[in-house]
Amino acid sequence: MKFYLYILGIFLLTFGTEAQTQLKLMSYNLLQYPSGTGGDRSDELYYILHRYQPDIFMACEIENNTAADEILYYCLSAQNYAAASFSYNHSGNYYLQQMLYYNKQKFDLVNETYLTTYVRDINHYTLKLKSDNPADNIYLDVYVVHLKAGNYNNDPQIRDDMVQVLINDLPNIPADHFVIVAGDFNLYSANEPAYQDLLDSGNAVVLNDPVNRPGYWHNNANFKDIMTQSTHAVSSNNFVGGGLDDRFDFILLSDNLMSSPVLHYLGGSYAAFGNNGTCFNSSIISPDCQGPTYDDTLRQHLYNMSDHLPVVLTLETPVSLDVDDANDEPAFRLAGANPVHSGFRIVSATKGPVEFSVYDTTGQLIKTFENYHNSDFVNVSDWPAGVYLLKVKDVKNQQLIKFVKAN
C-alpha cells in the first residue's frame, strides 16, 4: 500500500501540475459587414461567435466604426470582450477594414498599428497574456491580413508584394514574442510565392501552417476538409457561389507557438469551422455537407452570414491566468416585451443616468437621448416598423441592444 501511495504521489506531482488553460482563436471574413448582403446578419454572427466563444477574434471586411461596435457590443459581449480601434484603410482605395477582438479576461491590448500596402492595410496588434504572476511576460503579435483576391494576371504577384511588407516588419518583433498571422489570404496553391515566402525558414520569424497540407488547393477534393470558400453554390447578394472548393482562409503560427511549453498550439485543433469534410463543390447547407461535428443549425447560420467559413484553432498554456469571474448578466436590458409597440424602458444595473443612440440596421444614426433613468419611458409609437439598434452607455458600461418596432 505504501508503495502504491508513493507512485500515486509521484504521478500527481508529475502530471497534476500540467493543467492547461486553452485559448481559442477564430479568423473570419465577414463579407462586407454589415450591409454587404442587404440584410441584417448580426444575429447570425452572434450565434456563430457564441457557439465557438473565441478568445481572439480576427475579422476581415468591416465597413465602419458602427459595424465594429455592433460586433463588440451585440455579437460578442462588452462585459467579457474588448476591441482594437477601428480606422478606415490607409492603403489604396479599399474601404473595408480588418479588426481584432479579444477576451479582456485573458488579454490586454498593449499596442496596435498598421502596415500600408498599395492594396489594403495589414493590421498589427500586440496582446499580453494576463498571468497572475507579474513576472510572466507573454506577448502575442497578431497580424490580420486580407490579401489581394483573384487568380488572373498579376494577382499572385500582388499578394506576394503585400506579404513582403509583413515579412519586412518581422525583424521588429522581440525574439521572445509569439506571432500569429491570420486572415483571408486568397491563395489557390501552396506553390504561390506569397505562401512560400510566408513560410520561408530565412524570415526573422519563421511561420508554420499548422495543418501542413501543401498542394494545389483550388477545386481539389483531396483538400475538401480544410476548404473555407464558398458556403454558397449560387452567387447572390454579394455571396460568391461555386460551393466549397477553395482554401482561402488561414491562421499561421510562429515556430515557438508550435513547440514552446509556455504557449503552444494544441495539435489537431485547427479546423474550417462548419466544414464536416463530407462535401465538395456544394453549399454548406447541402445534405452531403452533414456530419457528426457541425450540425444543420450552425451550418445554416454560417450560410446566412458569409461566403467564407471561419478558421479556428486552440492554443494551450500552463500559466495560471489572472481571470476574474465572467459577468454574463447584461448591464442594460429592455423592460417588457420585444417587439415593442408604443415604447420601452431601459433597465440599467446602475442607478445613474444613461445615454443611448438609435441606429437602423445599416448603421445610420436616427436619434440620440441623454440623461435617461430606469423609470423613463421612451415613446416610439410614431416610429416606422422595423429593426433598431440601441447603443446604450453610462459611466462604466456600454452595450448594443436590438429591438423590433411592431406596427
State the Cα–Cα distance between residues 82 and 101, nearest whole angstrom: 6
Q: What's the confidence (pLDDT) of residue 10?
A: 34
Q: What's the confidence (pLDDT) of residue 327?
A: 54
Average pLDDT value for residue range 103-114: 96
Residue 196 has pLDDT above 90, yes or no: yes
Cell of 250: 488561414
Q: What's the confidence (pLDDT) of residue 15?
A: 39
Query: pLDDT band for position 367 (50/70/90)?
Result: confident
Residue 8 has pLDDT above 50, yes or no: no
State the Cα–Cα distance between residues 302 and 312, nearest whole angstrom: 14
H helix runs in 231-306, sequence order:
255-259, 296-305
Average pLDDT value for residue range 282-291: 96
In this structure, are residues 313 and 269 in contact, taking their beta carbons and an 8 Å threshold?
Answer: yes
In this structure, are residues 98 and 58 in contact, taking their beta carbons and an 8 Å threshold?
Answer: yes
Q: What's the confidence (pLDDT) of residue 333?
A: 82
In this structure, are residues 357 and 365 in contact, taking their beta carbons and an 8 Å threshold?
Answer: yes
Torsional class of 226: left (φ above 0), alpha (ψ -120 to 50), beta (otherwise): alpha
Q: For a pLDDT cut of 70, what percent of the chain falls above it?
A: 93
Average pLDDT value for residue range 10-37: 77
Residue 14 has pLDDT above 50, yes or no: no
How far from the centroid of its chain's Cα atoms is residue 92's Cα?
A: 24
In this structure, are residues 105 and 131 in contact, taking their beta carbons and an 8 Å threshold?
Answer: no
Q: What's the confidence (pLDDT) of residue 328?
A: 57
Q: What's the confidence (pLDDT) of residue 325?
A: 53
What is the residue-averaged pLDDT of the chain?
90
Q: What's the confidence (pLDDT) of residue 312?
A: 98
Q: What's the confidence (pLDDT) of residue 220?
A: 98
Q: What's the confidence (pLDDT) of residue 19?
A: 74
Backbone angles phi, psi at 399, to 5 degrees: -155, 155
Cell of 144: 490580420
pLDDT tens-digit map of 381-393: 888 888 888 888 8
Residue 401 has pLDDT above 70, yes or no: yes
pLDDT tens-digit map of 293-331: 999 999 999 999 999 999 999 999 998 887 765 555 677
* CA within 13 Å, CB half, 303: 19
Which domains are seen in the chain, by residue range?
19-317 (3.60.10.10), 332-405 (2.60.40.3080)
The model's pTM is 0.83
Q: What's the confidence (pLDDT) of residue 338?
A: 82
State the Cα–Cα distance between residues 163 and 203, nearest whole angstrom: 12
Query: pLDDT band for position 363 (50/70/90)?
Result: confident
Q: Write the CA distances from 326 to 20, 105, 106, 207, 320, integer angstroms.
A: 19, 8, 11, 33, 16
pLDDT tens-digit map of 123-171: 999 999 998 887 789 999 999 999 999 999 999 999 999 999 999 999 9
pLDDT tens-digit map of 198-230: 999 999 999 999 999 999 999 999 999 999 999
pLDDT tens-digit map of 248-276: 999 999 999 999 999 999 999 999 999 99
